Amino acid sequence: SLDDDDGEASAEGPVVGERQDADLSVRLPLRKLDELLTLFGDIIVNRSVVEERMGRLANMVRDSILSSDRLRDIGSQLDRQFETPMMLNGRNNNPMGGNRAVAPKFGGVVSGPNATPTDPDHRQWDALEMDQYGEFHRLSRGLVEGATDANSLSTEMEVLIREMEVALLRESRLSSRFQDSLLKARLVPLSSLVPRLYRAIRAIAVKYGKEFDLFIDGDDTEIDRGVYEDIAAPMLHLVRNAIFHGIETPDERLAAGKPVQGQIVISAHNEGTQLVVSVRDDGRGLNAAAIRSMAQARGLIDSFAQLSDREVINLIFQPGFSTAETITEEAGRGVGLDVVRDTLNRLRGNVEVDATVGQGSTFTLSIPISLQIQRVVLVRVADQTYALPLELVAQLVLLDYYPRAEGTTPALDVQGTRYPLVHMASYLNLMPSPISGNTPALLINSGTRHWALLVDAIAGRQEIVAKSLGPHLKNVPTVSGATVLGNGQVVLILDPLEMLTRPPRNANAGPVIPPPGTVLPMDQNNARGAVLGDQRVSLRPPAVATARPVPASPGGGVRTTPYILVVDDSPSVRRVVSATLKNAGWEVLTARDGQEALEIVAQRIPVGILLDIEMPRMDGYELMAALRKQPTYGDIPLIVLTSRAATKHQQRALQLGADAYVVKPYQDDQLLTTLNELVHVRPNGDPR
């Protein structure tokens, strides 16, 4: 019946609803997730390429707006300069040649060489007004209109670029959300490791008659599956050590006034992109004196070595070290904490120990949550770009903005902590740049050790996809991988902790770091700050920087990096020549004519000038004569870059003081060779 059907339907309805609401799941091999992450990494690289191309396109559109504005100004100047004289002359002269137009009395335009005016008084019209409607004026007006149209199109393109940048920003946010979801799919809770740890502790406790309570804090903390597999062995070793070496027997604990049951606490939490796991016990702790004696007996340290207790305790991570008096299945074989440290180093993490005799020990592990997609800081060293994991950099500072620490070796005093100064180039067997007051430094922390790592420049901050170097290069010291930037450049990813724990490769070739109290020159380019991502981040720490006098250049400007001045009235020539010089490492300023060039030189003296001959307002000949008349500018190398190849032009330029004469078209290598022969400093300011 219908009632029965309705009843069956109503009875089955909730069941169907429950199935629809059930939390369905599928089993997915880890390899598939890795493939998705690899594809997403390619998306990130492609996005970087698009962002870089967008930046270049935006610069080109801005240049086109300036060019169209200049064309419009030229057209307007032509109108103003020629309109009045031609009206007053009353002559039918046409400076551009060709047809002229006559305005009839009743409207319309009659044009052509055989045009017959319809107005009997056309001579009066022609003398007073007709020439302003001639071919020359039409061309000049057309020039203005064309430039205006080009400006309008460029403005519309600029608006479109801004809209595309907003879309890219939205896509970046969506990609970040997708990345988070994808990474979470690889995460497993740390609680899944607890049963293995408990079984290991319990087996040792039963064997040696010890009692304990195991507490877990943050067991819902999640970690990448690959990292989870790697961290399992170090965690097992630490909890075994806690029960075997740390927790005392019940009699010993009662004698020490402790509860019979020892406590082992495992805690885990996330700090940014790092997983922090600690294993703490309330047992014997670590005896620095006993460790020192054992290390001396094994020849790990000299008997006269002056080490602090913390440095002595860290000797337990040395290979072959053990404090066990007898060799058992659990201890005494010298294989243990050194493996823990090596595993953490391989994972780009670190391990720290804090112990007090009679109160217990705490081992803290810090591991990156994921190893594939990273945030890095890009640095420049000896004209090379390198990437350092951002989570390992505590702070970016400038060398002269923190007080110098006292001691035999140069160091910074950062809020009471001593950071020895080391130059990254010395560890990479590269020649470092000279030290200045604004040399950037990266503060690196590893447990109780600290470094201020000097670099030539901060190139930015970026999210990258770490790529493996393959089996043949995977064991290269200090290199953890590589990445491809948006411009196609391949950049090595370095591990600063591993690098700094090794001796410098060219310590003797490193820069001389002046002692405390030395007034260092300031580089105003670096003083503006480092560009990190889309924002310019100041490297000056708050409430620490002090104002200091800055040496001035002969022209009255602030001493800065050397630059080349390009003087040409053609925007395309300025752009092409500037690009060639910038690719060679030079800073470049440009001027449209000689007058503008003199204004720039008065503010900041260049190390060389490339100039054209034919320019408005002040041409190249006049500019050379003006520069050579003043002793301050008499030694600036002048290179004429022109299409005029006649001998008389070359002789005139050499008479006025030109140092070289280059005829367009030219080869980039030819121009750079000529420049290097005349300019006696390198782009970074070093003498040749």
pLDDT of residue 553: 40
Using alpha carbons, list the distances in angstroms from residue 355 to 213, 234, 235, 242, 492.
20, 18, 18, 12, 38
**Going by C-beta distance under 8 Å and a sequence separation of 6 or more, which residues neighbour residue 20?**
none
pLDDT of residue 614: 85
Closest-CA residue to 419 (of 435, 396, 438): 396
The tens digit of pLDDT for each residue in 390-399 reads 877 888 888 7
For 177, other C-beta atoms within 10 Å of its C-beta total: 10
**Going by C-beta distance under 8 Å and a sequence separation of 6 or more, which residues neighbour residue 350?**
344, 365, 366, 446, 447, 497
The pLDDT of residue 660 is above 50: yes
Tokens of 74: 């030229």
Query: From CA 202, how far away is CA 111, in angstroms rounded?
Result: 109
Closest-CA residue to 398 (of 558, 536, 544): 544
- Mean pLDDT, to the nearest integer, of 471-486? 79
Flag the least confident range among 148-162, 355-369, 450-464: 148-162
User: How many angstroms separate the first and last alpha carbons of the chain?
Assistant: 103
| Dihedral angle, C-alpha 299, 302, 306, 307, nearest 10 ° | -10
The pLDDT of residue 507 is above 90: no
Return the half-sphere exposure (C-beta side, CA atoms, 13 A cut-off) of residue 530: 26
Closest-CA residue to 241 (of 211, 292, 284, 288): 284
Output DSSP code: residue 552.
B
pLDDT of residue 556: 39
pLDDT of residue 555: 39
Query: From CA 112, how far away is CA 119, in angstroms rounded?
Result: 16
Are the C-beta atoms of 688 and 680 separated by less than 8 Å?
yes
For helices 225-241 and 194-208, the axis angle rounded to 10 degrees is 20
Query: From CA 649, how far away is CA 614, in angstroms rounded?
Result: 11
For 440, other C-beta atoms within 10 Å of its C-beta total: 22
- The confidence band for 183, taking pLDDT boundaries of 50, 70 and 90, is confident
The pLDDT of residue 650 is above 70: yes
Tokens of 650: 């070359």
Query: From CA 154, how far away is CA 174, in angstroms rounded?
Result: 30
- Mean pLDDT, to the nearest integer, of 518-540? 35
Radius of gyration of the chain (CA): 37
Are the C-beta atoms of 254 and 260 separated by less than 8 Å?
yes
Query: From CA 258, how far away is CA 5, in angstroms rounded?
Result: 73
The tens digit of pLDDT for each residue in 602-633 reads 888 999 999 998 887 888 999 999 999 988 88
For helices 647-655 and 620-629, the axis angle rounded to 10 degrees is 20
pLDDT above 70: percentage of residues in the chain: 74
Q: Could you tell me which residue, 244 or 148, shows the higher pLDDT?
A: 244
- Mean pLDDT, to the nearest integer, of 511-523? 43
SS3 of residue 342 by DSSP: helix
Are the C-beta atoms of 407 and 399 separated by less than 8 Å?
no
Query: From CA 118, how far away is CA 330, in angstroms rounded?
Result: 118
Are the C-beta atoms of 162 and 6 separated by less than 8 Å?
no
The pLDDT of residue 21 is above 70: no
- Which of 476-485, 486-495, 525-534, 578-587 has maximum average pLDDT? 578-587
- Provide the phi-psi class of 432: left if phi over 0, else alpha when psi is between -120 and 50, else beta: beta
pLDDT of residue 265: 93
What does DSSP say about strands 530-532 and 535-537: parallel, antiparallel, or unpaired? antiparallel
SS3 of residue 586 by DSSP: coil
**Going by C-beta distance under 8 Å and a sequence separation of 6 or more, which residues neighbour residue 634?**
627, 628, 657
| Dihedral angle, C-alpha 549, 553, 554, 555, nearest 10 ° | -110
pLDDT of residue 658: 92
The tens digit of pLDDT for each residue in 252-286 reads 999 999 999 999 999 988 776 678 899 999 999 88
The pLDDT of residue 672 is above 70: yes
CATH superfamily of this structure's domain 563-678? Response regulator (3.40.50.2300)
Query: From CA 425, how far away is CA 405, in angstroms rounded?
Result: 22
- The confidence band for 141, taking pLDDT boundaries of 50, 70 and 90, is low
Query: From CA 479, how far away is CA 369, in angstroms rounded?
Result: 19
pLDDT of residue 541: 36
What does DSSP say about strands 457-465 and 449-454: parallel, antiparallel, or unpaired? unpaired
Which residues pair with residue 271 across a beta bridge?
274
The pLDDT of residue 359 is above 70: yes
pLDDT of residue 281: 94
The pLDDT of residue 638 is above 90: yes
The tens digit of pLDDT for each residue in 578-608 reads 989 998 889 999 998 899 999 999 888 999 9
Tallying the residues shown for the chain, one arrives at 688
**Going by C-beta distance under 8 Å and a sequence separation of 6 or more, which residues neighbour residue 43?**
175
pLDDT of residue 539: 37
Query: From CA 113, how far away is CA 376, in angstroms rounded?
Result: 72
For 638, other C-beta atoms within 10 Å of its C-beta total: 23
For domain 188-368, give the fold: Heat Shock Protein 90 (3.30.565)
The tens digit of pLDDT for each residue in 53-105 reads 888 888 888 888 888 788 777 777 776 676 555 555 544 444 444 443 333 33
SS3 of residue 611 by DSSP: strand
Query: From CA 232, how far away is CA 196, in angstroms rounded?
Result: 9
The class of domain 374-515+526-537 in CATH terms is mainly beta
Closest-CA residue to 599 (of 621, 626, 575, 576): 626
The tens digit of pLDDT for each residue in 300-341 reads 777 766 777 778 888 888 876 766 554 445 543 344 688 888
Structural domain spans, the chain: 29-183, 188-368, 374-515+526-537, 563-678
pLDDT of residue 262: 93
- What mean pLDDT value characterizes the chain? 75
Please give the biggest Cα pair distance in the chain: 133
pLDDT of residue 138: 63
**What is the chain's percent helix, strand, coil content, to nearest 5?**
45, 20, 35
- Which of 9-18, 195-204, 526-535 has maximum average pLDDT? 195-204
At residue 661, φ and ψ (nearest 5 deg) are: -130, 110
